[in-house]
Amino acid sequence: MFNAIALTLLGAICISAQGMYTAPELIVYSRDDVIEQTENTLICFINHFFPPIIKTKWTKNGIEVETEDSFKAFILNPDGTFHLFSTLSFNAKDGDIYGCTVEHEALTEPKTEFFGENT
């Protein structure tokens, strides 16, 4: 087990030393089935990024909202990239559109995935 972790970390260090950056992939989904006016949680799964430095934010109908993500743990993937989850509590309302936006060194501009109308 220790050897596998050490090799994965060594791979991540080698990627970093070579200056290789990997842009994140985003998926936004709800924890439970969406029922209007019922509390739920949106999950933004941010995957396959390197290096493990990333900024996330949530929007509701284009306006930034605060999230209670008090701790964002970067989780190491077997390929040396990282993933993390960002969450947002919400009450579903018809017409609301939520967005999860990330900024990362491998992106030329912020990347956003939406949840809501027509998703």
Please check the confidence at residue 66 and state whether its pLDDT lies above 60: yes
Question: Do residues 98 and 114 make contact, with C-beta atoms less than 8 angstroms apart?
Answer: yes
Instruction: Please state, rounded to an integer, the average pLDDT across all residues of the chain.
Output: 84
19: left (phi over 0), alpha (psi -120 to 50) or beta: left
Give the residue numbers spanning the domain of 26: 2-116
Q: How confident is the model at residue 46 (pLDDT cuts 50, 70, 90)?
A: very high
108: left (phi over 0), alpha (psi -120 to 50) or beta: alpha
Q: How confident is the model at residue 118 (pLDDT cuts 50, 70, 90)?
A: low
Give me the DSSP letters along the chain.
Answer: -HHHHHHHHHHHHHHHHTT--BPPEEEEEESS---TTSEEEEEEEEEEEBSS--EEEEEETTEEE---------EE-TTS-EEEEEEEEEE--TT-EEEEEEE-TT-SS-EEEEEETT-
Number of domains in the chain: 1
Q: Which of 17 and 37 is assigned the larger pLDDT? A: 37
Question: Residue 66: which CATH number?
Answer: 2.60.40.10
CA distance 23 to 30: 23
Per-residue model confidence (pLDDT) at position 7:
40
